[in-house]
Amino acid sequence: MSSRGPGRRAPRASRAARTPKPGTSGGPFSDQAKHRLISAESKPVKLRADEAEENFRAVHDDDGTRLQKVLASAGVASRRVSENLIAEGRVMVDGLTVIEPGVRVVPEQVIIHVDGVRLNLDVEHQYVMLNKPAGVMTTMSDPEGRRCVGDFLTDEQQAARLVHVGRLDYETEGLLLLTNDGDLTHQLTHPSYEVPKTYMAELRGSLPKRAGAQLKAGIELEDGPVAADAFTHMGSSGGKSMVELTIHSGRNRIVRRIFEHLGHPVTRLVRTAIGGITIGDQPQGTVRELTGREVGYLQDLVSGPRQPEGSEA
């Protein structure tokens, strides 16, 4: 019965949140209230009677829960407003628009979008974001007593057994996701899903103009080729250069090794985004819960076609 929802978004460099310092704003969700999932600009969708009936039969499960109740439980709106959203054709189940409030679904077995935004129907798992400072180990504990990711979590988050999604090295700052959702962790870190990550890097020396084209075309490192998905040279001053780089490779210290190869070592490195999820104005050293909209975005990001294992740009 289940089929994939809208395809995942293509990798793009984040044009917002250039640095993770307090006061910075931006990101793809900054124009909406944190928990608002309904767009005031969305236009109702009209279906022919036969289309509506066909979609109803395709997604309806007699043993399921009424769709408006599922929406209300997910925090979208009240049941009455949710009924209106369904009737207006603004709700999709497994990629099919449904307009009959009487439809029943099993939440654990379907993918639901409202106004194009995927709902997070998982109430068992936790998802948080840490703005990691430099000088912090990406481990949940450290036998040598060094500061680590686990030091920033509450007792409740520690008890929930959150783990970091991928790694940032000791001196790298910025966005680090933590969750106890093992499936999503695997998908976000597995190279076949090609999840893009965006970094701001301060480099030693003046980077030549040709570097951008060179990185997009690809360079050869000791463990194989690598190419940038997007690159912007922000400028050079005082013997240093500032660049923004989006890359989907998750190899160890890959960004630092790229610029060492070019002869311009990294002096400061900050991860500002994973896909379209940005660090925004979140202060360093703080943890916040991801919104349902952000979790739904991440689930959509890894729901598209995978690249064959072992393939990489």
Q: How confident is the model at residue 239 (pLDDT cuts 50, 70, 90)?
A: very high
Catalytic residue among 115, 142, 151, 169: 169
User: Looking at residues 11-33, what average pLDDT do you find?
Assistant: 37
Active site residue 169: yes
Listed range (32-36, 92-96, 257-261) with the worst mean pLDDT: 32-36
**Given this model, what pLDDT does residue 18 score?**
37
User: Looking at residues 208-220, what average pLDDT do you find?
Assistant: 93
Q: What's the CA gap between 307 and 96, in Å, rounded?
A: 26
**Given this model, what pLDDT does residue 12 score?**
35
User: Looking at residues 159-177, what average pLDDT do you find?
Assistant: 95
Label the pairing between strands 96-97 and 91-93: antiparallel
Domain residue ranges of the chain, discontinuous segments joined by +: 49-118, 127-301
Question: In the chain, pLDDT over 90 holds for what percent of residues?
Answer: 64
Domain 49-118 of CATH type 3.60.20.10: no
User: Looking at residues 158-167, what average pLDDT do you find?
Assistant: 93
CATH superfamily name and code, 127-301: Pseudouridine synthase (3.30.2350.10)
Question: In the chain, pLDDT over 70 holds for what percent of residues?
Answer: 84
**Which structure tokens are listed for 164?**
């970091």
Q: Which backbone phi and psi does 10 adopt, to 5 degrees?
A: -70, 145
Listed range (1-5, 75-79, 169-173, 282-286) with the worst mean pLDDT: 1-5
User: Looking at residues 193-202, what average pLDDT do you find?
Assistant: 95
**Given this model, what pLDDT does residue 262 score?**
95
Q: Which amino acid type is present at position 240?
A: K
**Given this model, what pLDDT does residue 72 score?**
87
**Does the pLDDT value for residue 149 go beyond 70?**
yes
Q: What's the CA gap between 217 and 236, in Å, rounded?
A: 22
Q: How confident is the model at residue 15 (pLDDT cuts 50, 70, 90)?
A: very low
Read off the pLDDT of residues 105-122 as tens digits, 9 standing for 90 and up.
999 899 999 988 888 887
**Given this model, what pLDDT does residue 19 score?**
37
Average pLDDT value for the chain: 84
3-state secondary structure the chain: CCCCCCCCCCCCCCCCCCCCCCCCCCCCCCCCCCCCCCCCCCCCCCCCHHHHHHHHHHHCCCCCEEHHHHHHHCCCCCHHHHHHHHHCCCEEECCEECCCCCCEECHHHCCEEECCEECCCCCCCCEEEEEECCCCECCCCCCCCCCEHHHHCCHHHHHCCCEECCCCCCCCEEEEEEECCHHHHHHHHCHHHCCCEEEEEEEECCCCCCHHHHHHHCEEECCEEECCCEEEEEEEECCEEEEEEEECCCCCCHHHHHHHHCCCCEEEEEEEEECCEECCCCCCCCEEECCHHHHHHHHHHCCCCCCCCCCCC
Q: What's the CA gap between 192 and 313, in Å, rounded?
A: 11
Q: How far is CA 292 from CA 73, 84, 121, in A?
A: 12, 21, 8
